[in-house]
């Protein structure tokens, strides 16, 4: 089984972003609003993870907007059924 470390971040829209590398906080286009983004080339970068999944997978609940926490996740290849 493989264990990976990554970052779970709360985006400005309230959903979560899972990245391998520490994400960056940047302005959205030409506005004054900020959001969390994966760095270019991030091999993981899962976007729009809902609160329900973040709470059940990592126990993260009510993470403030534009904040990140380090998380671990495990994976293994399943044999074909």
> Tens of pLDDT along 2-20?
888 999 999 999 999 999 9
In a domain, 19, yes or no: yes
Q: Which pLDDT tens digit goes with each residue over 21-58?
A: 999 999 998 899 999 999 999 999 999 999 999 999 99
Does the pLDDT at position 63 exceed 70?
yes
Instruction: Identify the pLDDT of residue 81.
Output: 59
In a domain, 79, yes or no: no
Q: Around Cβ 18, how many Cβ atoms within 10 Å?
A: 23
Q: What backbone torsions phi and psi does residue 14 show, to the nearest 5 degrees?
A: 95, -10
The CA distances from residue 30 to 10, 65, 74, in Å, are 21, 20, 38
Note the pTM of the prediction, 2 decimals.
0.86
Q: What backbone torsions phi and psi does residue 57 show, to the nearest 5 degrees?
A: -80, -40
Number of domains in the chain: 1
In a domain, 80, yes or no: no
Q: Around Cβ 33, how many Cβ atoms within 10 Å?
A: 8
Task: Name the residue range of residue 26's domain.
Answer: 2-74
């Amino acid at each position: 089984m493989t264990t990976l470390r990554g970052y779970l971040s709360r985006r400005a829209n309230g959903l979560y972003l899972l990245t391998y590398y520490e994400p960056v906080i940047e302005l959205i286009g030409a506005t004054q609003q900020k959001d969390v983004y994966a760095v270019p080339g991030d091999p993981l970068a899962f976007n729009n993870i809902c609160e329900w999944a973040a709470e059940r997978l990592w126990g993260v609940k009510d993470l403030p907007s534009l904040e990140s926490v380090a998380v671990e996740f495990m994976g293994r290849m399943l044999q074909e059924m």
